[in-house]
Amino acid sequence: MVERRFPLPDTPQAVERARAALAGELEAAPARPAATVMVVREAGAGALDAAVLTAAGVEAPASAGVPGAEVFVLKRVSTMAFAPSTYVFPGGGVDPRDATPDLPWAGPSRGEWAALMDVSDDEAEMLVVAAIREVFEECGVLLAGDREGAPLVDVRSDDWAARRAALVAHEASLAEVLTEAGLVARTDLLSYRAHWITPTFEPRRYDTHFFAALLPDGQAADDATTEADHARWVRPADLLEQAAAGRARILPPTLICLEALAATPSAAAFLAERPPTSPIQPELVTDEDGAVWLVSRHP
Is residue 289 domain-resident? no
Is residue 288 domain-resident? no
The DSSP code for 75 is E
Q: Is 295 in contact with 283 (CB distance < 8 Å)?
A: yes
pLDDT of residue 22: 93
> Rounded CA gap, 274 and 108, in Å?
15
The parent domain of residue 106 ranges over: 28-276
**Are β-strands 91-93 and 31-42 bridged in parallel, bridged antiparallel, or unpaired?**
antiparallel
Is residue 232 domain-resident? yes
Is residue 10 domain-resident? no
Q: What 3-state DSSP class applies to 231?
A: strand
Is residue 21 domain-resident? no
CB atoms within 10 A of CB 24: 7
Q: Is 148 in contact with 186 (CB distance < 8 Å)?
A: no
Most confident of 82-96, 108-122, 277-291: 108-122
**pLDDT per residue over 262-275, tens digit each?**
999 999 999 999 99
Higher pLDDT pick, 30 / 225: 30
Rounded to 5 degrees, what are φ and ψ at 92?
A: 175, -175
Average pLDDT of the segment spanning 87-116: 93
Average pLDDT of the segment spanning 14-33: 93
CB atoms within 10 A of CB 203: 13
Is residue 299 domain-resident? no
Higher pLDDT pick, 197 / 289: 197
User: Of the given ranges (22-26, 107-111, 112-116, 145-149), which has the lowest mean pLDDT?
Assistant: 145-149
Q: Is 97 in contact with 174 (CB distance < 8 Å)?
A: yes
Q: Is 254 in contact with 38 (CB distance < 8 Å)?
A: no
Is residue 140 domain-resident? yes
**Where residue 119 falls among pLDDT bands split at 50, 70, 90?**
very high
CB atoms within 10 A of CB 2: 8
**pLDDT per residue over 226-265, tens digit each?**
878 889 999 999 999 999 999 999 999 999 999 999 999 9
> Rounded CA gap, 75 and 229, in Å?
6
Which secondary-structure segment (H or E) carries 211? strand 205-214
pLDDT of 63 over the 60 cut: no
**Are β-strands 205-214 and 31-42 bridged in parallel, bridged antiparallel, or unpaired?**
parallel
**Where residue 49 falls among pLDDT bands split at 50, 70, 90?**
very low
Cα 177 to chain center, whole Å?
22
Give all strands (DSSP E) within 46-129, no chain letters. 69-76, 87-88, 91-93, 105-106
Mean per-residue pLDDT over the chain, rounded: 89
> Rounded CA gap, 293 and 6, in Å?
6
pLDDT of residue 97: 93
Q: Is 9 in contact with 103 (CB distance < 8 Å)?
A: no
Residue 82 maps to which CATH number? 3.90.79.10
Average pLDDT of the segment spanning 9-35: 91
The domain total for the chain is 1
**pLDDT per residue over 148-206, tens digit each?**
667 676 888 899 999 999 999 999 999 999 999 989 999 999 999 999 999 999 999 99
Average pLDDT of the segment spanning 59-68: 56
What residue type is 250 in one-letter code? I
pLDDT of residue 35: 98
Is residue 204 domain-resident? yes
> Rounded CA gap, 72 and 233, in Å?
4
